[in-house]
Amino acid sequence: MNGWEGLRAENYRGERLPMTLGLAAIAPGAVAGLLAGLAIVAGQGRSLDAAAWISLGGSLLVFVAGLMDDLMPPGPRGLRAHLRAVASGHMTTGILKLVVIAGSSVVVVAAQPVHPGATRLAGAGLLAACANLWNGFDVRPGRALKFFLLAGGAALVAGVPLRLAPSVPGVLVAAILALPADLRERAMLGDGGSNLLGFTAGLGLYLVLPGPWVWVAASVAVALNVLADTVTLSRLIDAVGPLRWFDRLGRVSDSD
């Protein structure tokens, strides 16, 4: 199935739902955040740093790459499956998406004046790993949005610089608005929305964490990606009581 009809997919219960929350809420939230930041700093007689524009551009590239993957017929799932396809001579949209995510992560982190060179390497890894990780979260209603609200909210409370990344609070507001539709299984994020959530979460954490903790966060994100491709995140979450409770909070059905 090709074209815009491709923006429908089966959820975990086999029901076909529109994958429109990324297009209708999350990506516009990133743009609205930058416009709001522009107005706020202008009122203070200042201007946004170039990093803010670069971070928005990188975020939208990540979103578009995910959206293109959504529009294509279902293909291999999981990083290992994509790598096997490439090894056999078949390029997948998933691999192309990962290339875009990696490139955007490098450019966005390089534009942020908050850490020295070595830590920027970890920062790029953090953004890329989070973008892919949140895609892995998005297999149950509300999961990706709720975990984004935790990570993005923590970054906002810790003081994400508005002049560098106004898209972070913008996406937070959009995530809050999109959550009811996701929990009630009326629509889904799709790869575009979930990749953008993770990319934004990674950016927010990179901007507020001390250098050593950026390395820790990147290592954890990479490890979770590996586990998601082997054990599955659902199994990990279900094994931890508080995470299981949080994951199922607000769903119309808590049966996984």
For residue 143, CA distances in Å to 5, 26, 106, 226 come to: 25, 15, 27, 19
For residue 211, what is the enclosing H or E element? helix 211-228
The SS3 of residue 100 is helix
Which residues, in sequence order, are CB contacts of 44 under 8 Å at separation 6+? Answer: none
Q: What is the pLDDT of residue 97?
A: 92
Q: What is the pLDDT of residue 145?
A: 98
Beta partners for residue 9, in sequence order:
17
Q: What is the pLDDT of residue 138?
A: 95
Q: Is 152 exposed, middle or buried (0-12, 13-18, 19+ CB in 10 A)?
A: buried
Q: What is the largest CA-CA distance in the chain?
A: 56
Q: What is the pLDDT of residue 254?
A: 57
Q: Do 127 and 217 meet the contact criterion of CB atoms below 8 Å apart?
A: no
Residue ranges, the chain, pLDDT below 50: 1-3, 255-256
Q: Is the dihedral of CA 253, 27, 151, 58 positive or negative?
A: positive
Which residues, in sequence order, are CB contacts of 17 under 8 Å at separation 6+? Answer: 8, 9, 10, 11, 185, 186, 187, 188
Q: What is the pLDDT of residue 77?
A: 65
For residue 192, CA distances in Å to 62, 97, 221, 233 come to: 7, 10, 19, 19
Q: Do 84 and 176 meet the contact criterion of CB atoms below 8 Å apart?
A: no
Instruction: Kindly report, residue by residue over 90-132, the tens digit of the pLDDT.
Output: 667 788 999 999 999 999 999 999 999 899 999 999 999 999 9
Read off the DSSP letter of residue 3.
Answer: G
Q: What is the pLDDT of residue 94?
A: 81
Q: Do 206 and 214 meet the contact criterion of CB atoms below 8 Å apart?
A: yes
Spatial separation of the C-alpha atoms in residues 255 and 69, rounded to whole Å: 28
Beta partners for residue 10, in sequence order:
16
